[in-house]
Amino acid sequence: MSSEGFLKEMQTIGEKFLLKLQKLPKADPVEIVSFCVVLLFIVTVLVLMIIACSCCCYSCCSCDGRPDHRRRKIQVRPTAH
């Protein structure tokens, strides 16, 4: 997918989202609750991704951006019998 196609798709999704928000005050309670559940799911996934990426980055790098070589994994080899 080209960058233009991706931007067009994102614009379409954004327009649908704004249209849904505009219609929300007139919607029935079931539709409002389902919209809130979907929105909560999306926000939860994004927050968990941010937490996972920050934990991964923290374990690989120290605070000043240099890699932490003390936490290197050591390969264990079987002993000869």
pTM above 0.85, yes or no: no
Residue 35 lies in a domain: yes
pLDDT band at 60; cut points 50, 70, 90? low
Looking at the structure of the chain, the number of domains it has is 1
Instruction: State the residue range of the domain holding 54.
Output: 28-58
Mean pLDDT of the chain: 81
36 within domain boundaries: yes
Residue 74 in any domain: the answer is no
Task: Give a yes or no: residue 4 inside a domain.
Answer: no
Residue 20 within any structural domain of the chain: no
- 1 within domain boundaries: no
Q: Considering Cα of 26, then 34, then 44, then 4, what sign does the dihedral take?
A: negative
- Tokens 């932490």 found at: 68
Helices (H), 1-81: 3-23, 29-60
Q: Which of 18-22, 35-39, 72-76 has the lowest mean pLDDT?
A: 72-76
